[in-house]
């Protein structure tokens, strides 16, 4: 595997977590505009992507390979918990 192929392989492993984290951050800012006034959507997206990335790695370690429903569920929990924490902190 070439370095370019390895890069795309790893990028595609984390792409669902990063994409969902971005969508969750944008939708949360839209829905809870007043409550999240002091938190930027970039901060929410970065923390969500970090939590989702950790969850993807944990799912890979626990389940043996990616792409399982339990792994996607863990990814959603990993994305949602930082969003909840940021919303709670104000």
Mean pLDDT of the chain: 93
* Domain chopping of the chain, boundaries: 21-89
> What is the Cα–Cα distance from 59 to 71, expressed in whole angstroms?
5
> What is the Cα–Cα distance from 36 to 75, expressed in whole angstroms?
23
pLDDT score for 90: 59
pLDDT score for 87: 87
Tell me the pTM: 0.87
Task: Dump pLDDT digits (tens) for 10-47.
Answer: 999 999 999 999 999 999 999 988 888 889 999 999 99
């Amino acid at each position: 595997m070439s370095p370019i192929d390895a890069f795309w392989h790893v990028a595609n492993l984390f792409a669902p977590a990063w994409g969902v984290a971005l969508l969750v951050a944008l939708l949360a800012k839209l829905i809870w505009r007043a409550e999240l006034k002091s938190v930027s959507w970039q901060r929410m997206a970065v923390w969500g992507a970090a939590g989702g990335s950790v969850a993807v790695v944990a799912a890979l370690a626990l389940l043996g390979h990616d792409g399982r429903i339990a792994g996607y569920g863990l990814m959603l929990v990993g994305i949602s918990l930082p969003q909840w924490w940021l919303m709670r902190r104000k």
